[in-house]
Structure 1
Amino acid sequence: MSTVTVDIAPLAETGAPAPVFLTVEEAARCLRVGRTTCFALIRAGELESLMVGGLRRVPADAPAAYLARRRAEQRAA
């Protein structure tokens, strides 16, 4: 199984470490979908997220994992 990468470099400031978490809006931009679609993926359990305090956050590697699962599903079909 190949590894899929999603470029989150534009989300991080130059010289700053890569983010550990993304906002839902940042995750949506990574996946090139809208905010509402991203929340729907989270509600359906297809995109991993968690609450940090009162804020919904998406682990930085979750968009790539979602994409890898979708590609594997399509290949199997």
Structure 2
Amino acid sequence: MSITHLDDARTAQSNELAPVLLTVEEAARCLRVGRTTCFALIGSGELESLLVGGLRRVPADAPAAYLARRRAERLAV
């Protein structure tokens, strides 16, 4: 079962809306990397993020988009 399916199951059980933005720590957990690595990906522009009121946030679809790009790069070689 993927992370998305687990999150969907939790959201369905709690009747809450799925998050649109993730904290850097949440994005790091999705990618199974550390916080420092996640900030490095953000700093290099590989992982999309934005500032919201001075807080760094990652769009919920950005980790999947990052992985899709990495997979495409690997297959292109």
Q: TM-score, normalised by structure 1?
A: 0.86
Corresponding residue for 2:45?
Answer: 45
Corresponding residue for 1:20?
Answer: 20
Runs ≥4 residues deviating over 6 A: none
Instruction: Name the SS of the counterpart of 1:27 in structure 2.
Output: helix
More helix by share: 2
- Identical columns (%): 73
Determine the C-alpha separation between the residues in 1 that align with 2:66 and 2:52.
Answer: 21
RMSD of aligned C-alpha atoms?
2.1
Determine the C-alpha separation between the residues in 2 that align with 1:23 and 1:38.
Answer: 10
> 2:50 matched to 1:63?
no
**Contact 1:24/1:35 (<8 A) preserved:** yes
Instruction: Name the SS of the counterpart of 1:46 in structure 2.
Output: coil
Instruction: Name the SS of the counterpart of 1:17 in structure 2.
Output: coil
Determine the C-alpha separation between the residues in 2 that align with 1:67 and 1:14.
Answer: 28
**Contact 1:49/1:59 (<8 A) preserved:** yes
Determine the C-alpha separation between the residues in 2 that align with 1:31 and 1:60.
Answer: 12
1:66 is aligned with what amino acid? Y
2:33 is aligned with what amino acid? V
Provide structure 2 residue ranges, at least 5 long, that are not aligned to the other structure.
Answer: none
Q: In the comparison of the two structures, how many residue pairs are matched?
A: 73
Determine the C-alpha separation between the residues in 2 that align with 1:48 and 1:54.
Answer: 16
